[in-house]
Amino acid sequence: MRAAIGIPLLLLLASEARADDLEPVLRAVKAEEQSAGFKPTGNFARSDLHVAAYYRCYYTGKLELPESYDALQLRDGTKDGCQIDDQKYDVFFYPIEAVSSGHAPVTQALAAATPERVATVVPHEDFHAQVRDLPDRIAEAASTLAGFLTGAAALAHLGRSEPSREAELFLRKAATINRYYDQLRRVYQSARDGEISTPDALDEKQRLFRALEQECAAIRPEPRSFNKCVSVTNNAGLAFDHTYTEYYPLLYQVFQTCRQDLRCTTETIMNAPKKRREAEVAEYFREFVAGHSPR
């Protein structure tokens, strides 16, 4: 039996029709989170008229490719963008709909999003509270997967959509992002080692990003809740996305090993060793997959 979960009407943020559309999605998501074993959070229990979005500016060098968003340089932005020299740096301007805090409000940007996007973002942020002691790249991959799976279950419960393929489509994106990330890292390392010139490295960078865009564009059907290509076609966008994609294929294997059961998947992730090195936690998941795979 699903427990009743109070979510306020959002008439102040959107039209009455939009608010009536949003409230059932939030209720369904919170109910699915409870069924999947999430501990309750205070996220999205209120709206905030004063928050349109959270504006952030990530940037890095033209031949620098960090492993994750943690290693990118960061400044606050505004609704008008970033005051950063894009001739000197690769810049990613990100208007964020929600930031997990335990009391995150429904922002104007989230209220204006499609039901598919809302149903993905809300459990993504709520799952962060369940995995706050995991390494960042694993936590982001886990929250991404949990967001897709929980959101799909919520929308199915509402009878709003055909069976979701978002988690599978993101797997294809992740494999593509990870492959091109590795290729670009090798190019930049070759430039640092003096094996190729800076102009040649920049030319190869442009070629690889064009190829990445073409490969991402070929992903079908169109995802409904995420951008199927890199956030922005430069090093800042790729490093940012790599935070989410590096361990996504491994976490998707956990989902497959759990026979695509949401509760098994979330419990396995939440039972991972806490406050350990990334390699140790990744090994836990590999051992789970190996130990439960058919012989």
Which pTM does this prediction carry? 0.91
Q: Is the pLDDT of residue 295 over 60?
A: no
Residues for the chain: how many in total?
Answer: 295
Per-residue pLDDT at 50:
85
pLDDT (tens digit per residue) in 4-45:
333 333 333 343 335 557 899 999 999 999 999 999 999 999
Per-residue pLDDT at 118:
96
Residue with tokens 């935070």: 243
115 prior amide bond cis, ω within 30:
no
Rounded CA gap, 73 and 58, in Å? 6
Nearest to 119 by CA among 11, 27, 222: 27
221 prior amide bond cis, ω within 30:
yes
Q: Kindly write down the DSSP assignment for every residue of 81-132, as one continuous string.
A: B--S-TTTEEEEEEEES---SSS--B-HHHHTS-HHHHHHHHHHHHHHTTST
pLDDT (tens digit per residue) in 200-254:
999 999 999 999 999 999 999 999 999 999 999 999 999 999 999 999 999 999 9
- Categorize the per-residue pLDDT at 290 as very low, low, confident or very high, splitting at 50, 70 and 90: very high
Q: Is the pLDDT of residue 102 over 90?
A: no
Under 8 Å between Cβ of 148 and 123 = no
Q: In a 3-state reduction of DSSP, which class is residue 76? A: strand
- Categorize the per-residue pLDDT at 284 as very low, low, confident or very high, splitting at 50, 70 and 90: very high
Per-residue pLDDT at 163:
63
Amino acid symbol at 73: Q
Q: Is the pLDDT of residue 103 over 80?
A: yes
Portion of the chain with pLDDT greater than 70, in percent:
91
CA atoms within 13 A on the CB side of 252: 19
Rounded CA gap, 263 and 259, in Å? 11
pLDDT (tens digit per residue) in 181-193:
999 999 999 999 9
Under 8 Å between Cβ of 212 and 229 = yes
Under 8 Å between Cβ of 141 and 244 = yes
Sheet holding 89-96, edge to edge: 73-76, 54-61, 89-96
Rounded CA gap, 60 and 69, in Å? 10
